[in-house]
Structure 1
Amino acid sequence: MKIRKKIGVYLGLVLFIMQGLTGTAYADNTDTVNTDAAIMGETPPPPPDTTEPVHEPTSYTQDIFFPRKTLKGIYSSADLYFNIPDYWDVKYVYAQIQYDVSQLLEGKRSSVTLSINDVPIQSYRLEYQNGSSQILYVQIPMSEVRTGYNTLKITAYARLFDEEGCVDEESGANWLRIDEASHIRCGYESKDPEHRLSYFPYPFMSTYNPTGEGLVIAVSDQASNGEIAAAMNLMAALSTDTKERNDIQVCLLSDLANKNPSRTIVISDYENLPQEYKDRAAKAPDSTENATVTFTDDAQGKPLLLITSMADESLLEAAYMLMDKSRTSQEYTHAATVEKGSAQIAMDATQKNDMMAGHYTFEDIMGSGMSFVGPFHQENYLYLPVSKDFVLSEGGKIALKFRYSENLDFTRSLITVCWGEVPIASKRLSKENASGDELNFEIPRDVIGTSAGSIKISFDLEIADMLCTPRQSDMPWAYVSRESAVFLPSSSDAALSFDLQAFPFRRDGRFNDVMLVVSDAPSSGELNLLGQIVAMYGNGVKPYGSFLVRRAGAFTEADGDYNLITTGTYGSNPWIPQINDKLSFRYTPDGTGFESNEQLILSKEYAGTIGIMQLIKSPYALNRGVLAVTGSSSETLLNVERFLRESRQRSKITKDCVIIAPDSSATAFQFYQTTAGKKEPAPIEKLVRNKRSVIFTAVATSAMFMMLIAVIIILLRMRSYRKKDEK
């Protein structure tokens, strides 16, 4: 400390002499920031811009909010990703950052820098201001904004000080907290879709209509199996863009006028298609197998998408084409022909890819390696390309290849890997391995059966002498190479529970052997409810899964090796009475309500007003599930449909059975054991499981018993001989 004080005195003396030589007078309020910065060899950044940018008004704005984030250490950063859809005509983009900083911050040499897609655009000074939150604005140049995903990086350079100077060893006090009110604002106009299929799902779904209100998916009044299958897959795909509420409707064509749609998707076998729609199709299907897709307008000039084919099974292939962005992006006109069998080619490729499912390199995921720059604790996230139904199985492995600078304090520097936020491995860094180090390990068993959206990789890059050193932003450093890999096998063994919402109806992001069992003459109400159920399970679904539809009257046990979904009342759906004795809450003999069970006594009046979602084990096949959404009347099922449209309501669907009352209250029950609650196997089951051990024990015991008898016989004979000799 004495040495630093002496240095300060000498610097002050030099400044005084310079003032005298130049004749320049420095008042008490001189810009000491500039002076200190000059001494340190740095140009100080300007103070934050606290004025919101002014722009010409646009028809639409979109705000992308930051997650709450705290940056710690001298040099740290955070990324925010935002997407610019191809139908946006963007007029301006700016960021509003609301933040707090440590009261120990050295404002003369601390700064924050914002970059867009790795291009620095602005740096501002960081200063503590009496504990108050601060706001800064930064205009993002349109020349750096691109269609698709963009990255806004916030990099903080935070130094500390005390009454005698800077003390950066206490790196936990170097912090910048970004509030969740921080956001990026985009002002844009919507482009004319020009009836181009390449824009799909726009204009049928858009960012300025996030609930899908006004969109109706209609099938013919005959509602063939292929029409329903295609409609449900499109419903699932389009519902991915709905957030707080899903207002997309599904109905029969005869009920379309009652829905007053602003955008319509019609799916129909060609022979079931009314003439007015045949006249609007670009062309009739050119064979008995192919399907056609036409983007046109209806009689009121509103957007209309027509999907039709002479082959019922080809309608689902057309839906898969629309769900596959790599295929729709090739369709620059208003009409497309989908050849029968094209989906099978994609399915075969999917099956080949599934053989390597879970094997990823950093290059596969990020397109590059991962960089860490600056002293102390640095962390970055590898966001995993897994679907929402992913659950980690045994055998997961991570193999990291990395290098780092040689100027570290290797007694305190290390790498740490976390599954989500759970630490799973770490390793101390060493000078001899600085140019090429590795960390290979198997993921611990305690995180098997869990899911995570990211893997966090952290480096603690400690330097022996950081006291009062000037900024050196490019050192120390660490780099994880693009060849680093993760193996994340997906588990197919999970308990039947709404808490694992995608299981068992989805696997690896696709529908997993799903069969809808519908009534023989489905109504618009039934289709609408099925649409909401499929949307719940299909959020983010990929095309080319396994998805079928069966009429209840045509269902046989041979169709049982599927994960089954059905809905209706005891009288409207003839398949429900067949599984009634398997339901957790069974119908009364007259079908007007539900019976009580060991978990709940139902009053007769209440039992006639509720809808119930019941997830049960399939009575037809092992490792399959049945979801029955049942009610005593069409009104109770309508209550369930309204309930499912709200995302906050869907969060109440837990365990394996949920009663939904007319007031939208939900009560959950658990009838099947979860994986964590398995009972101890029965004695007979233990014998079967350990048959070889039991046989070995029985044989060994028998042999020992026979040896014991032989020894006893020998001893008895020896005794008898002795008695004879004594006589």
Structure 2
Amino acid sequence: MFVNKYFINKQNGIKRNVINNLVNVCLVLFLLLIFSNPTTVKAADNQTYTQQFQNSITTLSGKSVESNMYFTKMDYWDVKKLTFNFNYQVSQLANRNASDITVSLNGVKFYSFRPGNKTGFQTQKIDVPLKLLSGSNKLTINGQILDQMDNKNYQLQQTPANWLTIGDGSNVNFEYQLKEAENTLSSFYAHFSGQDTIAYQRSKIITADKPSSDESTASMIALSGESRIITTENDQIPVLQAKHIDAKKNDYMLVIAKYSSLPRDLQKQIDPNSLNDRAIIKTYYTDNKYYLIVTAKTGSLLKKAARFVANEELMKETNKSSEDVDESTDTYTSSLHDNGTHFLTTTPDQIQGAGHRETSYLVQLPNDRSNADGSQVSLHFNYSKNLNFNRSLVTIYINNTVVGSKKLTKVKANKDTLTLKLPRGLSLGSSFTVRVAFDLEMKDQDTSDDSNTPWAFVDPSSKMLVKSERSNDLLFTNYPTMFISNETYNDIAVVTPKDLDENDFKSLTNIFNLIGNFAKSNTGTIKFYNEVPSKNVLKNSNVIVLGTPSNNQMIKSLNPNLYFKYSKNYNRIVSNEKLSIEKDYGKQIGTAQLIRSPYNDKRGMLVVTGVNSLDTYIASTQINFQKNIQQFTGDAIVVDMNNAHYGYRFKKNKAIDKSLENKRTFSKNSQLIIYLGLAIIVILLIVLAVILTVRKQARLNGGKKDEKQ
């Protein structure tokens, strides 16, 4: 037998002395690497967020102008850089060498520049000192816009050509790093409600795959509470089924469901025995994903816990990882009853500099009310005594309507008052601006007025007394305030399909995003139904109906009452007197309609419907944000798959409660009715006097004839 001895008694691999040499070389290289390049830890990548100012495009007139803009910084941001992008335009006649603009943050001036030599809009990028930054910030623009001159002197005569326009593209851009969320409800809430978290769609509300009516109610209460504090007009938090959770890094998820409906990995975080007589709100962080579990065994406790989550004050105050909620827990939001009195400012508001100076104050009414005649504004103020009192005055505007003016006098400089009644019929809306304009003219007009004198102060006792009444219009101009009473949900009954799909959840998110934006309290009632409720419920509730004829029986029963009706076989929406609808087009449109309730003629009803759930969803996209709903003044909206949307009005009498409208009409015209009544009485007395005179004269004439005979 042949044996190949070449492989016998041979060492496998590399010889030991070679191995030792390689080890020594590697050790030397490793030591050289350590000493030549110190070890560094790479910092976390910077995040960026651009915060648009809510101001619309604004023109400021006068030689010396001033405007305020406001923005906020999240507490969990470690800000590395802040840039103010100022979009503006100045008068074409402005002298670029004499005009200047100064920027202040929280009362501290930090940057001045001269306008660029351009005629249109231009943008100035300004780095903001971080040491001036706080949580809530006031950015002030002061400008001195002087006319073109042939010499080096100031042209101090104010003309219409002295103006500065601030564009709506102005914003602040943050560069920051995220601070890690602490294991507390307050820290989770801060991140979950943060502007950047919501804008980047990292905040989500999760409920059961097949939610019960109580679970649907709880999730919408939570959504409404969040919508109430969202400051941007384009962002919302989606409500999703558990199967669509799709959690990613840095996502913040509010999971609200009964214990039996929770995903299994979240059930493990809760001891079921602790839920016997209470609900639990608990944080759970894993793999850079952040959960807040809100759960209970009963629907009533789950809704109670949802009201706790919807209470901003309670969530910010809870510095622990878990909170128990039972039937005795106070969860209602606080409310302030002002009896129609709205103070313009809480601290003395100073106005500095000569010329035309303005300051403004936002007044908000309860969203379910509108102003009535008889409102008035009282301004308490004082001002410097070095004015040209022949030319100095104060003017009050409501929005852009002049209410009245008063001449300033040296005698009342230390304490002056201006009280004005608002013009009859002036519409204020749910919020309006009180604008106070001071014309502080100096005696000496030969020098620049870029100084802190003269000055004026608006006193905190200044107030607006608003007489208001509940809105009574069954139109989209009054939506969703018809579903709000005393700033909370007004007995809302929501009738939905029994089996909700993804589009249905998106539709509900849209509907309750806007309702929550208007509701300032969590004390009202919302109740969901997945079948037609009793007639008693329909009679005494403000009803929202969502769905298609195939998945919601109530849509079929309401079809005769709809403005845009379905065909006999319910497979398309048909033409009416307002819109001709081609048969295939009628299969791919959605509608939102405000109809008078067939169960109670003093209540309205919102119906959001389409042939399929996608059509229903596209209809809801026009009732999700205030900027969208403001486009419509009628009682019906039609939206197609190309996002073309149209508004129509069908009802002639827009009043929800017709008897209330008649009473208000009588009240508004009471003086006229009194005058007409007096006039009728006078006319009747005159007629009676004439009749009596004629009869008396006839008798006298008859008596004379008898005497002659």
Cα distance between partner residues in 2 of 1:670 and 1:113:
49
2:294 to 286, 302, 307: 307
Q: Which secondary structure state, in structure 2, belongs to the residue aligned with residue 491 of structure 1?
A: strand
Cα distance between partner residues in 2 of 1:212 and 1:631:
30
1:211/1:242 contact within 8 Å kept = no
Q: Determine whether 1:629 maps to 2:608.
A: yes
Cα distance between partner residues in 2 of 1:719 and 1:132:
93
AA matched with 1:610: I
* Aligned pairs (5 A) from 1:175-574: 175-211=163-199, 213=201, 215-221=203-209, 223-239=211-227, 241=230, 248-253=237-242, 255-256=243-244, 262-273=251-262, 276-281=265-270, 285=274, 288=277, 290-297=278-285, 302-343=289-330, 346=333, 349-350=334-335, 353-354=336-337, 356-363=338-345, 367-386=346-365, 391-448=370-427, 450-466=429-445, 468-469=446-447, 473-506=451-484, 509-539=487-517, 541-551=519-529, 552-574=531-553
Cα distance between partner residues in 2 of 1:181 and 1:515:
41
2:643 to 659, 664, 675: 664
2:80 to 91, 95, 117: 91
1:320/1:343 contact within 8 Å kept = no
**Offset, 1:535:** 1.5
Runs of at least 5 residues in structure 1 that lack an aligned partner in the other structure: 1-54
Cα distance between partner residues in 2 of 1:652 and 1:132:
29
Q: Identify which range, 152-161 or 438-447, moves more after superposition.
A: 152-161
Cα distance between partner residues in 1 of 2:643 and 2:98:
57
Instruction: Give deviations 1:500-520, integer Å, cap 9, x for gaps.
Output: 333312356533332212345
Instruction: Give deviations 1:171-225, integer Å, cap 9, x for gaps.
Output: 5444444455543322111111123211344544543354463654333355233
1:585 to 530, 552, 564: 564
Cα distance between partner residues in 2 of 1:696 and 1:136:
67
Q: Which secondary structure state, in structure 1, belongs to the residue aligned with residue 571 of structure 2?
A: coil
1:606 corresponds to which residue? 585
1:384/1:454 contact within 8 Å kept = yes
Instruction: Give deviations 1:618-658, integer Å, cap 9, x for gaps.
Output: 23345432100122333432443567679986665552101
Q: Which secondary structure state, in structure 2, belongs to the residue aligned with residue 400 of structure 1?
A: strand
1:26 corresponds to which residue? none
Tell me the percent identity. Answer: 24
2:140 to 153, 161, 166: 153
Rate the CA distance shift 1:557–1:432 in 2: closer, same or farther, 3 A.
same
Rate the CA distance shift 1:317–1:418 in 2: closer, same or farther, 3 A.
farther
Rate the CA distance shift 1:610–1:159 in 2: closer, same or farther, 3 A.
closer
1:519/1:553 contact within 8 Å kept = no
1:169 corresponds to which residue? 157
Cα distance between partner residues in 1 of 2:300 and 2:274:
13
1:377/1:460 contact within 8 Å kept = yes
Rate the CA distance shift 1:428–1:608 in 2: closer, same or farther, 3 A.
same
Cα distance between partner residues in 2 of 1:145 and 1:699:
72
Rate the CA distance shift 1:644–1:245 in 2: closer, same or farther, 3 A.
farther
AA matched with 1:83: T
2:227/2:517 contact within 8 Å kept = yes
Q: Determine whether 1:58 maps to 2:40.
A: no
Rate the CA distance shift 1:717–1:643 in 2: closer, same or farther, 3 A.
closer
**Offset, 1:90:** 1.1
Cα distance between partner residues in 2 of 1:444 and 1:236:
36
1:77 corresponds to which residue? 66
Q: Identify which range, 594-603 or 76-85, moves more after superposition.
A: 594-603
**Offset, 1:158:** 4.9
Instruction: Give deviations 1:287-315, integer Å, cap 9, x for gaps.
Output: 53x432112147x7632221112442333
Rate the CA distance shift 1:115–1:403 in 2: closer, same or farther, 3 A.
same
Rate the CA distance shift 1:716–1:615 in 2: closer, same or farther, 3 A.
same
**Offset, 1:445:** 1.6
Q: Which secondary structure state, in structure 1, belongs to the residue aligned with residue 411 of structure 2?
A: helix
2:259/2:296 contact within 8 Å kept = yes
Rate the CA distance shift 1:557–1:699 in 2: closer, same or farther, 3 A.
farther
Rate the CA distance shift 1:86–1:99 in 2: closer, same or farther, 3 A.
same
Cα distance between partner residues in 2 of 1:109 and 1:594:
65
Cα distance between partner residues in 2 of 1:64 and 1:541:
24
**Offset, 1:446:** 3.4
Cα distance between partner residues in 2 of 1:474 and 1:305:
52
Rate the CA distance shift 1:624–1:260 in 2: closer, same or farther, 3 A.
farther
Cα distance between partner residues in 2 of 1:521 and 1:111:
63
**Offset, 1:459:** 0.5
RMSD of aligned C-alpha atoms? 4.3
AA matched with 1:616: I
2:107 corresponds to which residue? 118
Cα distance between partner residues in 1 of 2:367 and 2:129:
35
1:320/1:544 contact within 8 Å kept = yes
1:83/1:150 contact within 8 Å kept = yes
Runs of at least 5 residues in structure 2 that lack an aligned partner in the other structure: 1-42
Instruction: Give deviations 1:10-36, integer Å, cap 9, x for gaps.
Output: xxxxxxxxxxxxxxxxxxxxxxxxxxx
1:576 corresponds to which residue? 555
Cα distance between partner residues in 1 of 2:361 and 2:272:
47
Cα distance between partner residues in 2 of 1:74 and 1:704:
66
**Offset, 1:248:** 4.4
Rate the CA distance shift 1:84–1:509 in 2: closer, same or farther, 3 A.
farther
**Offset, 1:614:** 0.7
1:117/1:151 contact within 8 Å kept = yes
**Offset, 1:706:** 12
Q: Identify which range, 236-245 or 312-321, moves more after superposition.
A: 236-245
AA matched with 1:636: D
